[in-house]
């Protein structure tokens, strides 16, 4: 570590993010609270799914994204399997699960977050790996 650098508490930032998402998803959706985990100039990339307009850019785009969960999910949560942090980067692997509103079916799928935090502990880049086809298969 150089004289001007400071240690990063990436593990605590990661924990705060997952806890915030879980506490603010349906049935208690608060997309504004979740969006505050992200830097103003953040980027969200979901390589396994084509997002309309490409990667999501900016905190407001993240707020709009999370706000859509209420339309599809009665409840939603993330369960941790593994994590790794190095510097300001983190990899979180787990299971996303919830009850689909329209069908009432319980959906469960693997998910991986690759996160890079800024100096203030806000997410500046998030890559999410999830097979959304698994949702379609489970709600039929």
CATH number at residue 80: 3.10.450.50
Could you list the residue range(s) of the whole structural domain that residue 48 is in? Answer: 10-139
Closest CA to 108 of 73, 83, 63, 84: 73
With a CB cutoff of 8 Å and minimum separation 6, the contacts of 105 are 99, 138, 139
pTM of this structure: 0.87
- Answer whether residue 1 is part of any domain: no
pLDDT category, 132, cuts 50, 70, 90? confident
Q: Is residue 3 part of a domain?
A: no
Q: Is residue 2 part of a domain?
A: no
Backbone angles phi, psi at 120, to 5 degrees: -95, 5
Task: Provide the β-strand partners of residue 75.
Answer: 99
Question: Which position has the higher pLDDT, 8 or 38?
Answer: 38
Domain count across the chain: 1
Whole-angstrom Cα Rg for the chain:
15
Q: What is the mean pLDDT of residues 24-31?
A: 96
33-37: average pLDDT: 97
Residue 4 has pLDDT above 60, yes or no: no
| pLDDT above 70: residue 5 | no
Average pLDDT score over residue span 54-81 = 93
Residue 4 lies in a domain: no
Q: Which long-range contacts link 18-21 to residues 24+ away (Cβ below 8 Å)? A: 18/78, 18/80, 18/92, 21/78
Bridge partners of residue 45, in order along the sequence: 127
Between the alpha carbon of residue 38 and those of residues 14, 42, 110, 135, 140, the distances in Å are 12, 6, 22, 26, 34
Residue 5 in any domain: the answer is no
Rounded average pLDDT over 97-124: 95
As a whole-number percent, the residues of the chain with pLDDT over 70 amount to 91
* Residue 7 pLDDT grade (very low, low, confident, very high; cuts 50, 70, 90): low
Strand partners, 113: 92, 128
């Amino acid at each position: 570590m150089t004289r001007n650098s400071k240690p990063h508490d990436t593990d605590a930032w990661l924990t705060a993010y997952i806890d915030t998402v879980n506490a603010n998803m349906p049935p208690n959706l608060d997309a504004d609270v979740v969006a505050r985990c992200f830097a103003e100039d953040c980027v969200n990339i979901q390589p396994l799914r084509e997002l309309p307009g490409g990667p999501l850019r900016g905190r407001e785009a993240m707020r709009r994204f999370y706000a859509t969960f209420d339309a599809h999910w009665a409840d939603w949560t993330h369960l941790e399997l593994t994590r790794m942090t190095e510097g300001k980067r983190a990899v979180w692997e787990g299971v996303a699960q919830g009850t689909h509103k329209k069908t009432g079916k319980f959906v469960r799928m693997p998910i991986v977050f690759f996160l890079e935090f800024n100096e203030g502990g806000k997410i500046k880049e998030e890559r999410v790996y999830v097979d959304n086809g698994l949702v379609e298969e489970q709600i039929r």
